[in-house]
Each structure stands twice: as C-alpha cells, then as structure tokens.
Amino acid sequence: MHLRDASQAFADIYGNPNNAEGFMLRPWIDSDPATGQRQFSTPDTGTWWHDAQAKIGEDAFVGAVILYSDVTHLSENGRKKAHPLMMTLANVSQTKRWATSGHCLLGTFPIPPRSMPSAQKTELWDRFAVTALEPLFAGMERGFLLKDPNGVERVVKPRLYAWACDYPESGKISGTLSGGTERPCSICYAQKDHLWAVQSPNVTRTVSDQRWIVANHRALSPNPEKTVGSFFSTFPSESVLWKWEIPRAPWSNPYQAIMPDIMHQADLGILHHILAAIRTKLPRELGVFDGRLSYVRDHTRITHLRFPETTYFATGANLAAFEHRAVLQVLVFIVADKLTPDEMEALRLYLEWYLLCCHVPGHTEGSLLQLEGLTLRYFWM
C-alpha cells in the first residue's frame, strides 16, 4: 500500500501558482444579464458552496475536495490491476484541474483476491480510504493555514464536494450491495425497477440511517454477506463517507456527493425505451433481435443486464444499472445492419442527448422527462 500525505497534497494543489487563473475562493451569485435569473456556471456559484461557506464563517475558506477512484488494468491481458485514489479541488478552474498542477495521486488501494468475501472487500476498502484521507479529516474542524495561488495566507477547511467514479465503484464507496439487489443505488433507496420511472419516490441515503443499519445488521442478519432486508442493501461496515459529514448540515450529506459518471435516470431505462421502440418499428426482425439479446446475456461480461420482455427471455423486467459504454456496445451489436440510414441518424442524435444527460448530477424530474420526450421524438413519431 503506497500513500501520500493527503493534507500536504491538499496544500500543494491549493497553493500552486499555476492554478491562480480562475481560482475560486468564495461563493458568489451569477445572474444572466438579459433576464436577471440566477445561473450555476461554476462550483462557486452553486448552493452547496454558499451553504458550506455559511457554516464555516467568513474567517475561513472552503477547500472543495474532489476525489476519484477506479480499478484500472496495467496489462493487456487484464491480470495486473491497480486501484488509484486521485484528488483535485473544485477551487481550481476546470481547465486546470487535470493539469499537473491541479491534481495528484494520493495512493493505490490494495487489490483483494477474488476469493475474499464481498463484505470483507468492502471493509478493507473502507479501512484503506480512511487511512489515506485521515490527514484531511484532521483539518475539517480547525482548518489548515495555507497560501492560496497568489501567496495570501488563508484558513482553509476541506469539505467533500464530489467523489467521481463509475457505477460499480459507487457501490464500493457507499458500501451498497449493487448489481442484483433490489435497491442498488449508492445515493438513494429507490427500487431497482422504479429508478427510471419519473414518479418513483427517491429517498436519499443519510449517514444517520446508514449508521443504524450497520449497528443493527449483525443482530438482524448473522451472515455479513446478506443484506438486511431488500430495503437497505448495505454491507455491515463503517464507511469512509461518514467522516465527511458536518453535524446539522444537510448539504454535507456525503451520499449525495457520490458522482457516478452516469446517473441512473440515464442508465436505467434508456436501453429499455430504445429496444422497445426498435422492436415496434421492425416487427419482422424480432427473432433476430431476441437472438442477439440472448447472445449478449449469455456470452459477455455484462451479466447483470435485464431486458424487456422477449420471446427468448420473457421476464418483462426493467434494466439493472450499468455504464453507458455497455449500452452503446449492446445497442450497436443488436441493431447492426437492421436500421436504415435515417433511423441510424435518429439513433445517433438520440445518443448525443443521452451522453449529455449522463452528466446530470442527481435525480431530476426534468432530465427524466427530457429523455422520455426525446425517445418519443426520435423513435415513435
């Protein structure tokens, strides 16, 4: 296990002179000159930063931490892997955030053997993450005396702005049993079959209820590999996220800071809609489509896909969550050589909107309605 002092890395990024251009110190309200309506153009114009600043007072400054972690392959055959933990700051402008001056590698997580039970893997991951980030936690209350990129000394308090990841990693960060469980989201308790529905109630996870679940997990379920009822879908281990919470500050809920590269209003339901539309448009090709769907289900690594009802796989279930790359791979394979140029162009336009919606940070009814409206526009009308 290799680690870099997180507090020193935090100071290096915050005070690097190369990050001076566009550096964000305090929140402000950005308004459209034409309409006067408030705009959310940069992190320091958002309500999160305003709430965080109000909590720490005018004598200190927010250090908005962005973390990123994911397993990556180091060899072509996939046998050698690494699990890096990266850090940057939302204070740094987006154009400089991924420059050498704007981010750093905090450490690499250990890769547990496949034979290790999932609950133990989650516990190991949390222990490493706490160890790696402990120096930052030490400064959350008292702050760090740092120099900003212009050399001015300031008291800076680290706060978790976002943890960027993919869908499987989000389950690991939150301790959520993802995949086949009924409530696989790392952010809320929405049922799997309802995640894509506009009217579904999405109740956000909180640190207090997750603490209760973990505290009572062993009494309710002696087997640590089992979830405590379908509602909770949580491993019985403490989470590194809990240390980021600020008491009596709902804006600091760390579960809302998890930012999968694709939110489930986009990854759940989009393939369902597209496949249903294509099957309606091309009824003579149903046998071909069903055969290709069955091939994907049986012969690829996308083992957790669940498809709309077909003659081969008649479940009628909606889809489990997965990355947009998987959606594109499956879709291209299924529709290859069966759509006209005009239909392929419509599909391309739709997918452009789809990829745009993948960056929507959270549950929004508007984004769901937009996806459904675009489906109607490009496929049904």
DSSP class per residue in 127-153: HHHHHHHHHHHTTTTT-EEEE-TTS-E
Range of the domain at 100: 2-261
Can you say whether the dihedral through the CA atoms of 68, 74, 79, 80 is positive or negative? negative
If asked whether residues 125 and 59 sit together in one domain, one would say: yes
- 1's CB contacts (< 8 A; 6+ apart) are 107, 108, 109, 110, 128, 131
Q: Which of 261, 286, 313 is the last residue of a domain?
A: 261
Q: What pLDDT is recorded for position 311?
A: 42
Are 49 and 142 part of one and the same domain? yes
Same domain, 111 and 183: yes
Among the candidates 261, 292, 321, a domain finishes at: 261
Query: How high is the pLDDT of residue 352?
Result: 67
Q: Which pLDDT score is estimated for 214? A: 83
Residue 363 is predicted with a pLDDT of 45
Both 241 and 281 in one domain: the answer is: no
Q: In this structure, are residues 73 and 80 in contact, taking their beta carbons and an 8 Å threshold?
A: yes
261, 276, 307 - which closes a domain: 261
pLDDT of residue 326: 58
Same structural domain for residues 202 and 279? no
87 shares a domain with 43: yes
pLDDT in the model for residue 317: 33
Q: Are residues 256 and 306 in the same domain?
A: no
The reply to whether the predicted model has a pTM over 0.85 is no
Asked if residue 115 and residue 43 are part of one domain, the reply reads yes
Q: Are residues 237 and 272 in the same domain?
A: no
pLDDT at residue 360 in the model: 47
Mean pLDDT by 10 residues, the chain (381 residues): 91 98 95 86 91 95 95 71 92 91 91 85 91 96 97 98 85 77 77 56 83 76 57 80 94 88 50 68 77 64 44 36 55 76 74 58 51 54 43
Q: Are 161 and 21 in a shared domain?
A: yes
What is the reported pLDDT for 82?
A: 85
Q: What pLDDT is recorded for position 266?
A: 47
As a whole number of angstroms, the distance between CA 87 and CA 131 comes to 15
Indicate the number of domains in the chain: 2
293 and 216 within one domain: no
Specify whether 101 is located in the same domain as 223: yes
Contact 284, 189 (CB under 8 A): no
Reported as half-sphere exposure (CB side, CA atoms, 13 A), residue 212 has a value of 5
